[in-house]
Amino acid sequence: MPADLNDYFKKKNGGNGNSGGGNNGGGGGNRPPNLNIEPPEFLKNLGKKAGILYAIIGVVVLLVIAKPFVVINSGEVGIKATAGKYKPIPMEPGFHFFMPFVQKVFVVDTRVRIMNFTSQEDVSSFNQRGSGIQSNNAISVLDNRGLPVSLDLTVQYKLEASSAPQTIATWGMSWEDKIISPVVRDVVRSVVGKYTAEKLPQMRNEIAVKIEQGIRADIEAQPGQPVQLLTVQMREIILPSKIKDQIEKVQVAKQEAERTKYEVERAKQEALKAAAVAEGVAQAKEINAKGIAKAIKIDADATAYANIIIAKSITKELLQLKQIEIQGMFNDALRVNKDAKIFLTPGGAVPNIWVDTKNTQQTAAITK
């Protein structure tokens, strides 16, 4: 094509010269004068460089089509396969080249992944590539009496980066469905199948611990430890409606029994409180009576002691003095009542005296 362009310009220049001469020789005409037009310089050398240009274009097209490079992001590793054989050392995050048509690079995710076993969520909405979340149906189990039970679980795990090539070579890209899901279902059925449906809610924590321990043991026992198990969470135990009704009735009965027990205990406490109050009142009265009796006794003891002291103080001389004093009183009485009769009743420390007169207005009885 470049050679043809050069020939085209040469022929055009030569042809214009001839035709120009003919026109001039013919004595005139309206044709323009002859022009000596040369092709551009880059077009003169285009034919020599066309092969190199075609080669560069071919290489670029080949690179675009073959794409002999790959970019691995953080949280991922690359697995290089040469003629179908996986290289045991994974490719770290970064920019890597490989040979097209001979080698392939498979990029796998090593970040934390979640597998849900649920009966409430839309399973298809979570099973999207690259989301890191996979959702499966709830795990159906038969208890030790053959009653159907379902469990909702959430399992967190991640692919071991160092052993990723061996894991993919052994299990393939669907390694999650071949390692995690079967192990979880087998362990759950083995653990839950030992209990009755009624006991499951009561033994929830114990069952959750046993399930996690069993899953962890089975995952770690896999050859090469392809997966690192992070957590296992039991979210819900779904029981048959009849079993749920029975459990609710039992719970209601237990609550009623607890309420009755509380009422009995409360009445007992109130009775004990009343008895304690009555006993306190009785003790207070007893203490008060004892105090009064003690006070009376003290008073009586004081009176008796006083009488003893008084008795000890009476002497013959004191009695004689009293008789003299009374005799003086007799004399005074006789002066006033000359006709009075005086009777003396002997005995005791002081005699009794009756004064009798004929005039009743002057009658007096004196006792000392």
In 33-147, beta strands by DSSP E: 69-72, 76-82, 85-86, 94-97, 103-109, 113-118, 133-137, 139-142
Tell me the residue range of the domain where 279 lies. 242-313
48 and 76 share one domain: no
Q: Poorest-confidence range of 74-78, 149-153, 245-249, 288-292?
A: 245-249
61 and 75 share one domain: no
Tell me the pLDDT tens digit for each residue of 113-129.
Answer: 999 999 865 555 455 55
**pTM, entire model:** 0.54
| pLDDT > 80? residue 161 | yes
| pLDDT > 80? residue 348 | no
Strands 113-118 and 148-159: antiparallel
167 and 222 share one domain: yes
Percentage of residues of the chain with pLDDT beyond 70: 73
225 and 126 share one domain: yes
Mean of the per-residue pLDDT values of the chain: 78
144 and 216 share one domain: yes
Half-sphere exposure at residue 252, Cβ-oriented, CA atoms within 13 angstroms? 6
129 and 189 share one domain: yes
For the segment 330-346, the average pLDDT, to the nearest whole number, is 65
Contact between residue 183 and residue 139 where contact means Cβ atoms under 8 Å apart: no
Q: Number of folded domains in the chain?
A: 5
pLDDT at 99: 83
152 and 85 share one domain: no
Percentage of residues of the chain with pLDDT beyond 90: 32
Tell me the pLDDT tens digit for each residue of 294-320.
Answer: 889 888 888 888 888 877 777 777 777
pLDDT at 28: 44
